[in-house]
């Protein structure tokens, strides 16, 4: 009985360590822009990277998100926003 409990404990511990050690990284030399799309108003999606490619939002409405704002993207929209270098 104790062997089964120990085996389950080890499996859970190993899984937990594997999950907690993984993370996503962004290579700043290769990205064009990072758009979080968490603004709450307006028609601009700000570029969170250092590149300054803010986007103009089209055919979508701001709604309440889990943290800040979120976009309600209309069905069939092919192009969400156009990005241009901020001046």
Asked if 32 contacts 55 with a C-beta cutoff of 8 angstroms, the reply is no
**What's the length of the chain?**
87
The model's confidence at residue 9, banded by pLDDT at 50, 70 and 90, is: low
pTM of the model: 0.57
Gyration radius from the chain CA atoms: 21
In a domain, 49, yes or no: yes
Residue 40: HSE in the Cβ half-sphere, 13 Å Cα cutoff: 5
The model's confidence at residue 18, banded by pLDDT at 50, 70 and 90, is: low
The model's confidence at residue 12, banded by pLDDT at 50, 70 and 90, is: low
In a domain, 51, yes or no: yes
In a domain, 26, yes or no: no
pLDDT of residue 75: 81
pLDDT of residue 16: 61
- Convert the pLDDT of each residue in 27-59 to its tens digit: 878 888 888 888 888 888 888 888 888 888 888
Asked if 4 contacts 11 with a C-beta cutoff of 8 angstroms, the reply is no
- How many domains is the chain partitioned into structurally? 1
């Amino acid at each position: 009985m104790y062997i089964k409990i120990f085996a389950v404990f080890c499996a859970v511990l190993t899984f937990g360590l594997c999950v907690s050690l993984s993370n996503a990284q962004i290579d700043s030399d290769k990205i064009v822009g990072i758009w979080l799309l968490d603004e709450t108003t307006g028609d601009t999606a700000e570029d969170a990277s250092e590149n300054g490619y803010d986007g103009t939002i089209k055919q979508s409405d701001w709604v309440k998100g889990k943290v800040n704002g979120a976009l309600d993207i209309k069905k069939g929209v092919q192009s969400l926003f156009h990005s241009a270098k901020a001046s």
